[in-house]
Amino acid sequence: MAFLRKLLADRPVRTPLEFGINENIRLVKIDNEPRTKEGELITRNTYMTFTKFNDKNEPIASTEFSYFDLDPEKDNNLSNLANQLAQLQNILDLLNPEAGAIDPTAGYKSVEALSSDLQNRKKSKALIDKMFDLFAEALEGKIGNESELLRLKIVTDSKGKYLQLPRESHIAELMTTEPSALKITPYEVKMHAKGQESQSPEVKTPDEVSERPKKTSALRNL
């Protein structure tokens, strides 16, 4: 029976999560391996699979989110790095609060030095890889089908077509949190409504989130 439960728990789940505040969610998998599509490298990183479980602890819906790589040719890399870090820290604080802050910018003495490195593709990739490694190390043994149950906020893009994480740092909370601090805004409802007459939304990786992390070194004064 134990083997059967594991077999059922490990089966692929093709139903996506939904727009809104999703409950009984677990972070079941993370990875940062390069991926290709039709022979082209996908410019994304930090893949996170969130799965919804029913009252029998069976997976019933699942969606993978990730982040766009930093683009040295754009001038919002510092903000995007800070925003991605804020979301990862939010998740880490829930699943392993004793881990403390992850800081891929350790060693930098100024925002200017960090900004300069973000104009270099190799160095910006190294920062993202370092951030993922710190995140993965802190979450070792804390994710999977038996990990803490979460609420997760999911919105759509401005055309209501793609599901994505919201543009804010607080995207998740423990299911035991009462009252919930996660809210769907009227604007987010409006954007979601735009896509209701089209086909079901596809999953899209966010390239930006809006708030800054509370605990960073070189990012502190942004």
pLDDT tens for residues 24-39?
999 999 999 999 999 9
Going from the C-alpha of 157 to that of each of 7, 121, 134, the distances in angstroms are 35, 27, 29
* Average pLDDT for 118-143: 96
Total-model pTM: 0.84
Cβ–Cβ < 8 Å for 59, 13? yes
Higher pLDDT, 35 or 9: 35
Going from the C-alpha of 218 to that of each of 76, 100, 156, the distances in angstroms are 16, 17, 31
